[in-house]
Amino acid sequence: MPPALRIDPRDARPIWRQIEEGVQHLVARGALPSGTAVPSVRDLAKDLQVNPATVFKAYQRLTDAGVLTVRRGEGTFVADSPPAASDAQRLGRLREEAVRYASLAVTLGASREETVATLEAVWRGLKDGNGKAEGDEE
Amino acid sequence: MNTHDPVAPIDPVGPIVLEGLTVRYGERLALDSVSLTVPERSVYALLGRNGAGKSSLVRCLLGEQKPAAGRVSLLGRNVWTERAAILKDVGVVPEEPNMPPAMSARQIARFCSRLYPRWDAAGVEARLKRFRVPAETPFGRLSKGQKGQVALTLALASAPRLLVLDDPTLGLDAVARKAVFEELIGELADRGTTVFITSHDLAGVERIADRVAVLRQGELVLDEEMDALKHRFRRLSFPAALTPRLEALAPVAVASRSWGIEAVVAHYDEERLGSPEEGGPEVSALTLEEIFIALTGEEAER
């Protein structure tokens, strides 16, 4: 089971997209290095308690995008040089999450400086930690 | 993984087609001209509050009850006239599994194995073991949850084309519920069986169903792909300082909260509302359970 792949029922994105972007995110962060075997559709569907067709759809899109690669008879693996997400995709997602973070900061009455500094520190931690961050265990 | 490989030609009609299904109990209209189609290899969830008409619909679907009007086609055939032949290809888990109380699960399985052309005896033993249901205990002495698990085990053993599950997790604890969903997921992965399920476990259904229908007082008020449904519903939270023009939003449910007003809209349009940064309402996505409550609960606008 890849670390930190979760399905959130309060997320407006369809489940297949949550899986697709979740895997993409783990690959981008280095949590799933090139050549790593990903769980079979059946196993991941059971882990996440979702319809296997949903996992299949996510895997198929990831394979089409070159993030995953299927080796016949062996299973599905992270590709040797997975492409980064498209700029529009990346910036769209980034803004979505930024709105959430910024809203919380405003709610808590944090200053602009505090907000930016906290973000900066977390970002640094993720980069230095080689993909291992807080809350990633399991 | 061959969920999408064409193992058998897709039935163009759909494994389940209901047309104008109407059921009356005396004066009361239990089902009001319900029409729906369950696509092949889909997981179709029928939701509704108690008394909404789910049980009547399932009984008609299985040819156990004759509707006042309407037509039921099951696997392309008329369920009322060809019931016995059709049910060989349909696995059923009834709400109240009814089997000979003195017989054990293993004895019942042996009996059933003679009735079905395809019977997976090894699968029966494996599933009973995974469910931790004692195979030698008389059926009548099993718990409600275990009875349901035996029914699911037997339903899957005949490799059915269609599974009809009437609230299969009712009365199960969280662990047993997970076991039931895991069996179902395994079956979907292996054979892509079409599943028709009624359930009160909306969190479970949300993860496996790809199409959802909602019955309200005998009327089908929703029949839609899960993704599309989740995409269009949103909750808007207006703090007391904001007075929303509710008519313009056409909400399906409105609730007054201590801190302001909450509205659920069925056709969310970001452009029209403005975001919280611009002084608009707080917008959040809804779980299937929340959508269901908005459509059928006390706060639903009639």
pLDDT, tens only, B120-129: 999 999 999 9
Quote the mean pLDDT of chain B: 88
Nearest by CB to residue B43, choosing from A11, A15, A51, is: A51
Closest CA to B112 of B96, B91, B128: B91
User: What does the pLDDT average to over A45-68?
Assistant: 95
Question: What is the reported pLDDT for B208?
Answer: 95
Amino acid identity at B219: E
Nearest by CB to residue A12, choosing from B178, B231, B288, is: B231
Mapped onto helix, strand or coil, the DSSP state of residue B192 is: coil
Residues in chain A within 8 Å Cβ distance of B181: 49
Q: Return the H-helix or E-strand segment holding A107.
A: helix A87-108
Mapped onto helix, strand or coil, the DSSP state of residue B97 is: coil
Domains for chain A: give ranges and CATH numbers: 15-78 (1.10.10.10), 87-127 (no CATH)
Distance from CA of B222 to the nearest CA of A (A): 19
Report how far Cα B109 is from the mean position of its chain's Cα atoms: 26
CB neighbour list of residue B250: distance below 8 Å, 6 or more residues apart: B265, B266, B267
Question: What is the reported pLDDT for A131?
Answer: 47
ipTM of predicted assembly, 2 dp: 0.85
Are the CB atoms for B193 and B44 separated by under 8 Å? no
Question: What is the reported pLDDT for A89?
Answer: 72
Amino acid identity at B6: P
Query: Kindly report the CA angle at A48 between B296 and B182, in degrees rounded to 5?
Result: 85
Interface probe with B: pick from A10, A51, A61, most Cβ of B within 10 Å:
A51
Rg (CA), chain A: 16
Question: What is the reported pLDDT for B145?
Answer: 87
Are the CB atoms for A15 and A24 separated by under 8 Å? no
- Global pTM value: 0.84
Are the CB atoms for B288 and B226 separated by under 8 Å? yes
Q: Can you tell me which residue has the tokens 């080796």?
A: A71
CB neighbour list of residue A2: distance below 8 Å, 6 or more residues apart: A22, A23, A26, A31, A32, A38, A39
pLDDT in tens, B57-67: 999 999 999 99
Q: Parallel, antiparallel, or unpaired for β B43-48 and B211-216?
A: parallel
Interface of A with B (CB under 8 A): 7, 9-12, 14-15, 40-42, 45-46, 48-54, 56, 99, 103
* Separation CA B88–CA B80 (nearest Å): 14
Q: Is B198 exposed, middle or buried (0-12, 13-18, 19+ CB in 10 A)?
A: buried
- pLDDT higher than 80, residue B190: yes
Both tokens of B49, joined, read 């509050």
Question: In the structure, what pLDDT confidence band is assigned to residue A107 with cuts at 50, 70 and 90?
Answer: confident
Closest CA to A75 of A43, A28, A32: A43
Q: Return the H-helix or E-strand segment holding B211.
A: strand B211-216
pLDDT in tens, B116-169: 888 999 999 999 999 999 999 999 999 988 999 999 999 999 999 999 999 998
* pLDDT higher at A99 or B43: B43
Amino acid identity at B253: A
Whether B207 and A10 lie within 8 Å, measured CB to CB = no
